[in-house]
Amino acid sequence: MRTLTLEIEPFETVKEEMAEIFVHVLSYSILETLKTDYQEGICIEIMEFTLREGVSIYDIRSLGNMELLSVLKSNGNKHTCLIRYKEAEEAKEQFQESDLGLIHTIPTIISLEKFTISMMGERKNLSDFVEMMRNVGTILRMSFRRAAYQKADVLAVLTDKQREVMVAAFQNGYYDFPKKISSRQLCQKVSISKPTLLQHMRKAEGRILKEIMTGYFHSPE
């Protein structure tokens, strides 16, 4: 396994296709991909959005093909969100062809001026990915290095009850947009009160974020 990092200057046609997203956003980072369905063209991911001045994350329901399911953390104009990405019907075939068995890793930062994309996988599949990206923009920099990543169960950081609540919330569509289940209905399914349910969810979201973000930020010396 190796890690590939690309810096790409996107073509003007690509910038035009993504312009709707960057009306409100300066850049966004993919922190963790939780689920990818290449057949349906759907991804569930945790992303950090850096918003333009004067824009509120709570006024945004969608960005291009991305639906904002939940705001997990906010710090100034930076917001960590759970998002659902759905590929346009006419682009599904191309999306399916991009299934190379690769894993998004950090840093993966997208702005209108430059894409920094990091992927992990086998060398041959990474080389195929590079060729795909040549259709997106001009490759400014490219590096390969040996991967030091080991897949871990992020839910292992939760208590049994927190894990039960989060799995039930996800399976029953609490994080969908629009929600398929209310917090009142969800608390009935897991047999706890609404205040206790919300407390478990807040603590669980915090622990999951801390686990994902460990090593991403460095403490000041």
- Of the pLDDT bands very low, low, confident and very high (cuts 50, 70, 90), residue 212 is low
**What is the location of CATH 1.10.10 in the chain?**
154-213
Asked whether residue 24 carries a pLDDT value surpassing 50, the answer given is yes
* Confidence (pLDDT) at 39: 87
Q: Which of 49, 17, 3 is nearest to 30 (CA)?
A: 49
Q: Report residue 176 as tokens.
A: 């969908």
Asked whether residue 97 carries a pLDDT value surpassing 80, the answer given is no
pTM of this prediction exceeds 0.75: no
Distance separating alpha carbons of residues 210 and 69, to the nearest angstrom: 19
Q: 3-state DSSP call for residue 193?
A: coil
- Output the CA torsion sign for 166, 172, 175, 179: negative
* Confidence (pLDDT) at 149: 47
Q: Got the DSSP string for 60-100?
A: -SEETTEEEEEEEEEETTEEEEEEEEE--GGGHHHHHHT--
Asked whether residue 36 carries a pLDDT value surpassing 80, the answer given is yes
Averaged pLDDT of the chain: 87
> 145 near 3, Cβ under 8 Å?
yes
List the single range of 80-84, 137-141, 211-215 with lowest mean pLDDT: 211-215
Q: Helix crossing, 183-190 with 160-171: angle to 10°?
A: 130
Asked whether residue 219 carries a pLDDT value surpassing 80, the answer given is no
Instruction: List pLDDT tens digits, range 121-169.
Output: 888 999 999 999 999 999 999 998 876 544 455 677 788 888 889 989 9
* Confidence (pLDDT) at 109: 95
- Which listed CATH number (2.60.40, 1.10.3470, 1.10.10, 1.10.8) goes with 154-213? 1.10.10
Q: 3-state DSSP call for residue 174?
A: coil
